[in-house]
Structure 1
């Protein structure tokens, strides 16, 4: 499994949050937070569709 390095203060805060929110482990909490943030990103296809809509509405050329 890949590993990452994070600031010790961030680690402590994340561990506290995971425990406070009832996650079974810090890994589960971090996994959930990363998935949630990644889901907010638009895919290239979504970006292209938005560009087409904005062009069609005359907002961009």
Structure 2
């Protein structure tokens, strides 16, 4: 698993939360929806990383001695 991928996913999640907050403050539905989409995208990408990690654990990938 790449820590960079996890960091990028978290950044997307925070960006989505910020957009939602700004959309709420400005009563801007488009911005709120973009924020929700950014958060959902980050969540999906994070789940994909979880699956990759589980597969590596299961099949013994990236073993370093």
Which structure is higher in RCO with an 8 Å CA cutoff and minimum separation 6? 2
TM-score normalised by L of structure 2: 0.40
TM-score normalised by L of structure 1: 0.42
Query: Counting helix residues as a fraction of each chain, which structure ranks higher?
Result: 2
The higher radius of gyration belongs to 1
